[in-house]
């Protein structure tokens, strides 16, 4: 398979996709939970439409295949950690993986500045991170509410989208503090790409693994341990990728050979 143009990176935090304004801040009085009747109606309609769209987009364009759904049987209120490799697909893939459950996803506030999509993110289950104490408390309360209702909380610990990247990039143990604090089960959702004999674009195969729980005497030790377990599962599954649709090369590695 001939790869797409090569992307060169200086650090694993480099951005390749056009996203929202990183300086964007949430409006004063932003509500992390919306339980009024109108919000619930809009949320049901918009989320339902998104599921229909994603079934076609992920099934036809990405050719999504999910392995390990049986591991989620009987699970309610858990964290789902995935590698971030699709600018559009990553919005929908977790929802299809955990059906009939409804997902809520931890996101950057920058996404709310995107034209068209930003205003409907709250109705799709987006839970933006916060920098001030009020926002942090509101986010924590929203996570507790949704977990208590049995919903999965989706986290992309790599934070930055690298389209069709087949490795697992570094991510911090701090991304696992919420799961450890709540002693909630955590699952790894690893996206891999396999060569297709029918067309050039690879097939997307997702593996679900878990549940994982942090071990250790302190919250920090448990977060470190949970991070290591999820990373190990992702790295193991990432070896199932057998093609490179987009090639990523470290800039200093390329320069050293020129």
Domain assignment present for 83: yes
The full 3-state SS of 7-52, as one line of letters, equals EEECCCCCCCCCCCCCCCCCCCCCCCCCCCHHHHHHHHHHHHHHHH
Domain assignment present for 167: yes
Domain assignment present for 14: no
Q: How much is the pTM?
A: 0.93
The per-residue pLDDT for 198 is 64
The full 3-state SS of 78-90, as one line of letters, equals CEEEECCCCCCHH
Domain assignment present for 162: yes
Query: Cβ distance 200 to 207 under 8 Å?
Result: no
Domain assignment present for 4: no
Domain assignment present for 132: yes
The per-residue pLDDT for 258 is 44
The per-residue pLDDT for 235 is 98
The per-residue pLDDT for 131 is 86
Q: Kindly give the confidence (pLDDT) of every residue in the chain, 258 residues in length, as a single tens digit, with 9 standing for 90 and above.
A: 555 789 999 999 999 987 788 889 998 889 999 989 999 999 999 999 999 999 999 999 999 999 999 999 999 999 999 999 999 999 999 999 999 999 999 999 999 998 888 899 999 999 999 989 999 999 999 999 999 999 999 999 999 999 999 999 999 999 999 999 999 999 999 999 999 876 678 999 999 999 999 999 999 999 999 999 999 999 999 999 999 999 999 987 655 444
The CATH number for 93's domain is 3.40.1130
Domain assignment present for 225: yes
Helices and strands (H, E) in the chain, number of each type: 7, 9
| Residue span of the structural domain in which 211 resides | 36-255
CA-closest candidate to residue 233, choices 8, 62, 25, 68: 68
Number of structural domains the chain divides into: 1
| Residue-wise burial string across 157-167, b where 16 or more C-beta atoms lie within 10 A, e elsewhere | bbebbbbbbbe
Tokens read off for 2 = 């001939």
Domain assignment present for 171: yes
């Amino acid at each position: 398979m001939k790869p797409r143009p090569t992307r060169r990176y200086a650090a694993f935090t480099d951005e390749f996709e056009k996203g929202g304004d990183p300086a964007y801040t949430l409006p004063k009085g932003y509500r992390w939970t919306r339980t009024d009747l109108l919000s619930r109606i809009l949320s049901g309609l918009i989320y339902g439409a998104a599921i229909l769209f994603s079934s076609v987009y992920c099934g036809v364009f990405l050719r999504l295949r999910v392995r390990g759904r049986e591991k989620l049987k009987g699970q309610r209120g858990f964290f789902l950690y995935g590698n971030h490799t699709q600018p559009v697909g990553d919005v929908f893939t977790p929802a299809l993986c955990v059906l009939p459950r409804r997902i809520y996803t931890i996101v950057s506030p920058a996404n709310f500045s995107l034209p068209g999509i930003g205003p409907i993110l709250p109705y799709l289950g987006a839970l933006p991170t916060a920098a001030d104490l009020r926002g942090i408390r509101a986010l924590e309360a929203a996570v507790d509410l949704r977990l208590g209702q049995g919903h999965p909380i989706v986290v992309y610990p790599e934070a930055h989208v690298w389209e069709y990247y087949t490795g697992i990039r570094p991510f911090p143990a701090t991304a696992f503090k919420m799961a450890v604090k709540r002693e909630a089960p955590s699952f790894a959702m690893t996206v891999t790409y396999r060569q297709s004999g029918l067309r050039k674009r690879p097939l997307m195969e997702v593996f679900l693994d878990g549940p994982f729980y942090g071990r250790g005497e302190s919250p920090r030790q448990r977060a470190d341990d949970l991070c290591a377990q999820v990373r190990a599962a992702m790295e193991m599954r990432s070896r199932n990728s057998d093609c490179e649709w987009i090639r990523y090369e470290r800039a200093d590695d390329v320069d050293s050979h020129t």
